[in-house]
């Protein structure tokens, strides 16, 4: 029994350690390649693979390179993928919510509510009702249309803010032009970059 133990610790263990230390740079390279493949954005994979490999190669020793590769990939890949997910989330969900809220805000600002229409003359009521319907279509096309429809609808809202209807207070129209439409334009640009 002691002979087997002596043989295992003095002959086999050093051979295994020598062989493993010779395989460590190859394994480190495989870890870096595998880590780069785990990045969700394909355009970033090659760049990170090169950068990580240069960082691993800079360290002396064979086992240290393997440890460095595992540490680097283990920390970097989840962070990079989270940043990509976070950017996607802001672009997709945040922009959609902003577009929905801001277009409805513009609709509320320029539209006339049904109670307010009761106090208008009959011929004006029909024009206001038609205007409200057109405004609803414009705001809906901002939320659901393609890029060209959104740009056209935004220009219509900008025109309305610059030359508001008689029932909209000029100060309210300027406020909408300064804040709501600027934020809506920014959200649309963010959405188009998706």
| Coarse DSSP helix, strand, coil percentages of the chain, rounded to the nearest 5 percent | 85, 0, 15
CA distance 134 to 125: 14
Expressed in angstroms, the distance from the first to the final Cα of the chain is 68
- What tens-digit pLDDT sequence spans the chain (194 residues)? 677 777 667 777 777 777 777 888 888 999 999 989 888 888 888 888 898 888 888 888 888 888 889 888 888 888 887 777 776 666 666 666 666 777 777 767 667 777 776 777 777 777 777 777 777 788 778 777 787 888 888 788 777 777 777 767 777 777 777 777 777 777 777 667 65
Instruction: Supply the pLDDT for residue 96.
Output: 66
The verdict on pTM exceeding 0.85 is: no
User: How many CA atoms does the CB half-sphere of 107 hold within 13 Å?
Assistant: 20
Instruction: Supply the pLDDT for residue 30.
Output: 92
Q: At what angle do helices 122-144 and 147-162 cross, to 10 degrees?
A: 140
CA distance 150 to 140: 9
């Amino acid at each position: 029994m002691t002979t087997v133990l002596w043989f295992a610790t003095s002959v086999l263990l050093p051979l295994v350690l020598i062989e493993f230390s010779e395989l460590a740079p190859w394994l480190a390279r495989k870890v870096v390649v595998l880590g780069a493949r785990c990045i969700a954005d394909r355009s970033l994979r090659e760049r990170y693979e090169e950068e990580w490999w240069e960082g691993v190669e800079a360290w002396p020793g064979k086992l240290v390179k393997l440890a460095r590769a595992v540490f680097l990939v283990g920390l970097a890949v989840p962070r990079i993928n989270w940043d990509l997910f976070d950017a996607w989330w802001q672009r997709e969900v945040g922009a959609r919510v902003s577009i929905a809220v801001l277009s409805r805000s513009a609709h509320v600002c320029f539209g006339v509510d049904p109670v307010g229409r009761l106090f208008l003359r009959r011929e004006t009521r029909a024009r206001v009702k038609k205007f409200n319907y057109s405004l609803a279509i414009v705001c809906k096309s901002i939320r659901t249309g393609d890029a060209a429809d959104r740009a056209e609808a935004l220009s219509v809202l900008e025109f309305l803010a610059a030359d508001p209807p008689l029932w909209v207070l000029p100060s309210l129209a300027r406020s909408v032009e300064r804040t709501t439409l600027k934020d809506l334009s920014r959200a649309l640009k963010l959405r188009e970059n998706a």
